Chain A
């Protein structure tokens, strides 16, 4: 989700019209198969080296359904395709499905697959593969992170070899939009067992080798179904945990691309004329997750006091060197629905202290604050909050915990911890699961319960009218700003740096790397 978001809940006719208007080309899917003009040019520059991308973390599993970190999302995007895809300006476009349609009450969605698309092992993609893929996603034993977004799927039918129908348990207008998500990539139904070790997809690049902790090597898929889009001879994801080393490797020419560069490096990298630096607004957010179910943050006054104590304007300066914007909810400042009437405050320790006194915590609040090891920006966020909040009587004790242990030990358990979330495909997926009292993320993160908020989110799901939606999501933001379930600090700007030899590349606001049509000059 981000600037433009497909609105859930459109009646079908309007939806298609709207989508087309937004450039989604649902009906024009076939157009994308036309050969691209730069095909010949790419051939000319010939066989060469692969694009070397420096990333920070190990890709633990290669199974796309189980992907949980940004590095894996990059891989998913390069090796696989979903039914739909999201363009750079956040429009939903055909991918493996060349078109789709829904019934009038939006409870039944039919996707028509592009014909002749082959997996990397040469077998054609069939409707049964789609059904099998989603069956896996829905199986709790798979452990797919976005599973709850698809729980409304009641039944899946392979109508024929190239047609899949999803019957939903409720009307849902954004169903084609959430098909762009990172983990819902179509995998061959007969190769599931080897997905983690010898993955097979349909994407522009195919798996060649993986040395855990070192590099993932992908090679060009010469038979990619859109001719002229797989231009690079290969892609290597180099796993380099140290940010300094990553940036030095880029400057020394050992890698071509650094994904997710730190905000403080922007100026220096821009000074290098062999490099191009992109910094774009995204809907990814970082924040301090407060557990609303246990003391001390079960008291809304304590949460408000923390918000008074730590001004978001100060935090953005301290943590992001200005490369980001304060936010109040997962709806980012770059979104047209963002409510600018909610004030962005500076730190006010005196007011925070008064509020703490009212809450009977005049002696201060003592709590552990967990920060993730190896995520420097988020670590900085934790240190900054702890330091700034101290003036108001919050005594946070920082504990660094490896990010890999968060899900088992921290999420939903610690009273306060720093975490962040990547942009979701739609406004609904970005808010409903997080703030509705039945939402899956809500239960894992802050345990927030508000009837008012539930009502607004439920209504937004059913609403099609743009102005009304804007009003509803405005209400939602004001409720959240009042109840402050957690301290959502800012929307992060996403920064990538790469060699100027990379042609036709644009940073993607979903923070994966889109290399279709990109070449190395």
Chain B
């Protein structure tokens, strides 16, 4: 296990290095001049050249890369070009808010998704199961960007129960904060809950029909014990991998939800950086998201390996 852990950690480190090169490379080939972006409308060619010199944009790419990457390692992410302020606190703030959104959503997805999945499996073929299945098909198919608009219309405009905009800091009071979280979280979780519950149901069904569950039943164990003690732990395995994968889906959703709900998180900051070609901000944002995503996959891998000792090498979670 230790050896496997070290090997996986090394892979993660390698991925991050390659990713940093990739992100850096993309910023190098992006059209338009950074210096021009900074100087604005009336920049003359001389001014642009001078600023490029000051910013070190004329240095060979590996010098620029090293300057950037070495700063990154010690937590110096550089200066945002458009906002003229250090990036690290900007990103950390935004990350914290995105994490609140993601954490809350992930919690709901894990608990409700698993529960509905088990419910579906236990009631397989009955009305509850069919109702759930229809709901799953529907919610998987509703794109977040459409769904959040529908929710805003319903809960904010028509019913007036919840605020239409996405964020109030904790300092405004817990309930205010929470009321601002409901719609974004609600948008994020529906599709994922449908997704997780559907896969949990399948896994659970398979386990319920396996020989050892039959054996447990044959021994006369109560159905409840069979379900919770024998079936569930085995069904959780695929569910865990699905949840890890969902971190990636969640992030995709977060970008859209943050944009629509004006939620000042990392996703929106990255979109802002790309739109305004704030390269240092973009580089830092993308790299941090990648690191988190890779870590989530690593954790899922480790959980999987821990739960299933047969799989140690040659597979990682997609």
Contact = CB atoms under 8 A, between A and B. Distances in A.
A404 B277 contact: yes
Interface residues of A, number: 43
A62 B129 CA distance: 56
B106 to A, nearest CB: 22
Interface stretch (A113-121, A163-171, A359-367, A405-413): A405-413
Which of A63, A251, A405, A411 has the most chain B CB atoms inside 10 A of its CB? Answer: A405
A126 B147 CA distance: 56
B164 A140 contact: no
Contacts of A238: 165, 262
Contacts of A404: 37, 82, 275-277
A407 B85 contact: no
B85 A405 contact: no
Contact of B272 (A141, A148, A213): A213
Nearest to A148: B42
Interface residues on B, range: 35 or more
Given A58-B272, A240-B262, A245-B262, A212 B41 contact: no
Interface in B21-60: 31-33, 36-44, 47, 50-51
A407 B42 CA distance: 8
A191 interface: no
B164 A212 contact: no
A373 interface: yes
Interface string A387-419: 000000000000000111101110100000000
A373 B149 CA distance: 19
A241 B149 CA distance: 14
B40 A68 contact: yes
Contacts, number: 118
A254 B83 contact: no
B157 A242 contact: no
Given A143-B38, A197-B85, A254-B163, A213 B277 contact: no
Interface string B93-113: 110000000000000000000
A214 B90 CA distance: 12
Contacts of A143: 38-40, 42-43
B33 A405 contact: no
Contact of A211 (B51, B84, B264, B272): B264
A520 B222 CA distance: 67
Nearest to B274: A402
A387 B103 CA distance: 46
A68 B32 CA distance: 19
A444 interface: yes
Nearest to B162: A252
B262 A405 contact: no
Contact of B262 (A60, A63, A242, A252): A242
Interface string B156-180: 1100100111010000000000000
Interface string A135-161: 000001101010110000000000000
Interface in A17-72: 54, 58, 60-61, 63, 66, 68
A245 B259 CA distance: 11
Nearest to A403: B275
A21 B204 CA distance: 86
B268 interface: yes
B84 A245 contact: no
A407 B37 contact: yes
Nearest to A198: B85
A255 B166 CA distance: 12
B269 A248 contact: no
A249 interface: yes
A435 to B, nearest CB: 17
B153 to A, nearest CB: 8
Contact of A248 (B37, B41, B164, B264): B164
A314 B157 CA distance: 33
Interface string A194-233: 0011000000000000011110000000000000000000
Contacts of B167: 214
A60 B82 contact: yes
Given A140-B47, A248-B152, A408 B37 contact: yes
A252 B276 CA distance: 31
A254 B272 CA distance: 24
Given A212-B269, A408-B33, A245 B164 contact: yes
Contacts of A345: none
A242 B32 contact: no
B304 interface: no
A197 B84 contact: yes
Contacts of A141: 39, 47, 50-51
B88 interface: no
A244 interface: yes
B256 to A, nearest CB: 11
A408 B277 contact: yes
Which of A196, A245, A254, A405 has the most chain B CB atoms inside 10 A of its CB? Answer: A245
B264 A213 contact: yes
A214 B264 contact: yes
A499 to B, nearest CB: 15
A145 B40 contact: yes
Contacts of B94: 213
B82 A211 contact: no
A287 B5 CA distance: 61
A465 to B, nearest CB: 33
Given A61-B82, A141-B50, A407-B40, 20 more contacts: A54-B165, A60-B82, A60-B276, A68-B40, A143-B38, A145-B40, A148-B42, A197-B84, A211-B264, A212-B83, A212-B264, A212-B269, A240-B165, A242-B262, A248-B153, A405-B37, A405-B276, A405-B277, A411-B41, A444-B41
Interface of A: 54, 58, 60-61, 63, 66, 68, 140-141, 143, 145, 147-148, 196-197, 211-214, 238-242, 244-245, 248-249, 251-252, 254-255, 373, 402-405, 407-409, 411, 440, 444
20 contacts: A54-B165, A60-B83, A63-B84, A66-B40, A68-B40, A140-B39, A141-B47, A143-B38, A143-B43, A196-B84, A212-B83, A238-B165, A240-B262, A245-B164, A245-B262, A252-B156, A402-B275, A404-B275, A408-B32, A444-B41
Interface of B: 31-33, 36-44, 47, 50-51, 82-85, 90, 93-94, 149, 152-153, 156-157, 160, 163-165, 167, 259-262, 264, 268-269, 272, 274-277
